[in-house]
Amino acid sequence: MIDQLRYTVRLVHWSPMAIVAAVALALGTVAELGGAHLPAALAVAVIGGVAASVALSLDDPAHALLRPLPIGLGRRMAWRVAVAAPIALAGWLALDHFGTWSAEPALGGTGMNALVALTTTGVAVVLVAHRRRPDAAAAVGAAAALGWALLHLLPLGPLADPATVWMGHPWAVTALASTVALLAARR
């Protein structure tokens, strides 16, 4: 088990998480030095970026090589999520609670719940996309998580409710995405 953890830590792409954290921290520092508050749009963009970085950590370039082994896709992805998601969530908490800005008011008090919903959605999309395009599955999952978060920033009128369901009903989105991820991982 320790060997599996060590190999998984080496396989996870950490640079997207580091880039999102560095950019958010830099913007927060610049805003604090300027005496301004960061807009809610930045909080939404950062939460989408954190969720997308977890999806990008699920990139599986050795899929063709590992396919015949008895360790299935679901188990490999579960290890990667178990390693990457806590780091991303801890980074979000550090940025949100100890940083220069707080996203909770911008996200209606559902910051952590919304992050879990978007992250779970990104993971589910990666697992579903892995069936057809394993080489692009992580990018598709990241685009889905980030794109859904950024839809909140568009003036969508009557389409605003479906576009922001991850903020309004994060646990329903998490439950649905978890079910889809489990079904996709069983193949």
Its pTM stands at 0.83
* Cβ-Cβ contacts under 8 Å for 150 (sequence gap 6 or more): 44, 45, 48
Residue range 80-94: average pLDDT? 82
pLDDT of 129 reads: 93
Token code pair at residue 83: 């390693």
Q: When comparing pLDDT for 178 and 105, which is higher?
A: 178
Q: When comparing pLDDT for 119 and 156, which is higher?
A: 119
Least confident range from 38-42, 101-105, 162-166, 171-175: namely 101-105
Q: In the chain, what are the domain boundaries?
A: 2-185
pLDDT of 65 reads: 63
In 3D, which of 49, 147, 145, 46 has the Cα closest to residue 101? Answer: 46
CB 106 within 8 A of CB 126: no
pLDDT tens, residue by residue, 138-185? 999 999 999 998 887 887 777 777 777 888 888 999 999 999 999 988
pLDDT of 102 reads: 57
pLDDT of 99 reads: 54
Banded model confidence at residue 63, pLDDT cuts 50, 70, 90: low
pLDDT of 67 reads: 63
Per-residue three-class SS string for 57-86: CCCCCCHHHHCCCCCCHHHHHHHHHHHHHH
